[in-house]
Amino acid sequence: MRGITIQFDRDTINEYLGNPFDLPPGEDPAVPVLCEYGEKAATGNWPHDRIEREILLPGRQYVPSKAGNRNIAAFADMTVRAAVVFKFLVHNVWPKSHVTTATKVVTPLIWKICRGGEVDVARIVSEELKHMALSGVTRPETRITFSGFVMGLLQAKGVEIPMPSHEQLTSPMTSIFGD
C-alpha cells in the first residue's frame, strides 16, 4: 500500500492480536504446524452426527438446503453455548452475511470451541483473507472480509488512513457535480 508491504499471514495476524496462540516449531519449516482444529480441518473428516447432537438442541437436526442436503444448522436450533459461539464468530472472526444459519463448514469450528479445543484464530483469519483475495480476482462482487481488522492492521503498520470528511455539501450531487 503506497510503498509499504503489509503481510496478512498467520504470524503477522497473531502478532497483531497479541500472540494469543503460540504453536510449537515444526520439524519442517515448509510445512505449517496446525492446531487441533486445523489438523482435523485439513482432513475434512468431521463427525457431523456427533457435532449435530452436541451443538443442537435435543431432537433438532441440520436442516435441508435448497438442494435438499442436510447441511445447515439453524441458530434457533443451537444450544445456548453454541449460539453464543456462533454469534461471536459471525460478527468477529468469520464474518458471514447469513447470521441465522451455519453451514457444515462452520459447525465444526463452533463444536471445537464449545468443547474447549485448540483453535488458531490467526490462521482462520489469514486463510479467509487469502480466499477472499483470490476469489476477488475472478469475482468482482467479492466483498472484503474483516474490514475493521484490516484497517487496524494497516494503521499498526504505519499506513495513514484518512479520516472521513465532515464537510457539508452545499449543492446536490448530479452527473455534472462540481460544475
**pLDDT digit string (tens) for 13-28?**
888 888 777 777 778 8
Q: pLDDT confidence of 46, banded at 50, 70, 90?
A: very high
**pLDDT digit string (tens) for 129-139?**
887 777 765 55
pTM for the model: 0.74
CA distances to 34, 46, 61 from 29, rounded to whole Å, are 12, 27, 42
Number of domains within the chain: 1
- 78, three cell numbers: 443451537
CA–CA separation, 57 and 92 (whole Å): 24
Q: Is 163 a member of any domain?
A: no
Q: Is 127 a member of any domain?
A: yes
Q: Is 48 a member of any domain?
A: yes
Mean pLDDT, range 39-44, rounded to an integer: 88
For β-strands 101-103 and 63-64, DSSP reports them as: unpaired
Q: pLDDT confidence of 74, banded at 50, 70, 90?
A: very high
Domain that holds residue 74: 10-21+35-152
Q: Is 160 a member of any domain?
A: no
